[in-house]
């Protein structure tokens, strides 16, 4: 089950306006609350700049997505912005396959429990209700950093490895390197306020129909 909301219209339009856009739209687990009509209305506002659109199932499956990217490689190459309508997992998958491209998520993931994708996935989303991927080069700081740090590294990494889990790369070093590669280190100047945990949907709220 997937519950997500489209980010505010002004925010999305400010990112895509005047730029060539390629859209990925995932229909994989849309049993509930996939805002299709809202997405259609929004895309209509910048349709003349959309140079390609791919609606697919399971953007969370890296191998499928690689095939889609191969199929649409010319349009994707020409695009200045890749815009994703999916949960946080789908955006992370596309970002990981298009490291040189600016990949924006147009959605905040609110709830993602139960069945998703087909098998174990390469990425996770904590359904934080306020997706940060647009500021971190598509690498989730909440699921990749064991401390869930939003505003940079803890300083404990050694040789690029996390101090909590030495088997894993430090998420913030990955974020830094990705943004540097894209010439977007200015994004790191932003300081996020504490998270608003009221944005998270719990199962009990869902049962009440909130």
CB 139 within 8 A of CB 95: yes
Q: How far apart are CA 76 and CA 21, in angstroms?
A: 8
> Does 147 participate in binding ligand SF4 (rule CB under 6 A)?
yes
102 to 121, contacts with ligand SF4 by CB under 6 A? Answer: 109
Q: How far apart are CA 35 and CA 190, in angstroms?
A: 29
CB 93 within 8 A of CB 112: no
Cβ closest to ligand SF4, residue 21 vs residue 107: 107
> Does 81 participate in binding ligand SF4 (rule CB under 6 A)?
no
Out of 59, 171, 175, 179, point to the residue binding ligand SF4 (CB under 6 A).
Answer: 171
**Burial readout 19-56 (b: 16 or more C-beta within 10 A, e: otherwise):** eebbbbbbebbbeeebbeeebeebbeebeeebbbbbeb
CB of residue 115 to ligand SF4, shortest distance in Å: 17
> Does 128 participate in binding ligand SF4 (rule CB under 6 A)?
yes
> Does 59 participate in binding ligand SF4 (rule CB under 6 A)?
no
Site residues (vs ligand SF4, CB under 6 A):
88, 109, 125-126, 128, 131-133, 140, 142-143, 145-147, 149, 153-154, 156-157, 162-164, 170-172
């Amino acid at each position: 089950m997937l519950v997500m909301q489209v980010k505010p219209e002004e925010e999305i339009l400010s990112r895509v306006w005047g730029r060539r856009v390629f859209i990925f739209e995932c229909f994989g687990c849309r049993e509930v609350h996939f805002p299709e009509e809202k997405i259609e209305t929004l895309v209509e506002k910048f349709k003349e700049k959309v140079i390609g659109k791919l609606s697919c199932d399971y953007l969370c499956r890296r191998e499928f997505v690689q095939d889609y990217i191969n199929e649409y490689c010319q349009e994707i190459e020409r695009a200045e912005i890749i815009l994703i309508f999916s949960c946080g997992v789908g955006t992370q998958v596309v970002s990981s396959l298009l490291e040189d491209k600016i990949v924006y998520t147009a959605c905040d993931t609110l709830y993602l429990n139960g069945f998703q994708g087909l098998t174990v996935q390469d990425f996770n989303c904590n359904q934080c209700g306020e997706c940060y991927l647009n500021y971190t080069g598509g690498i989730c700081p909440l699921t990749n950093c064991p401390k869930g740090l939003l505003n940079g590294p803890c300083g404990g990494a050694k040789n690029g490895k996390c101090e909590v889990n030495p088997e894993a790369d430090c998420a913030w070093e990955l974020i830094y390197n990705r943004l540097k590669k894209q010439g977007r280190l200015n994004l790191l100047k932003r300081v996020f306020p504490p998270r608003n945990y009221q944005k998270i949907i719990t199962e009990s709220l869902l049962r009440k129909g909130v």
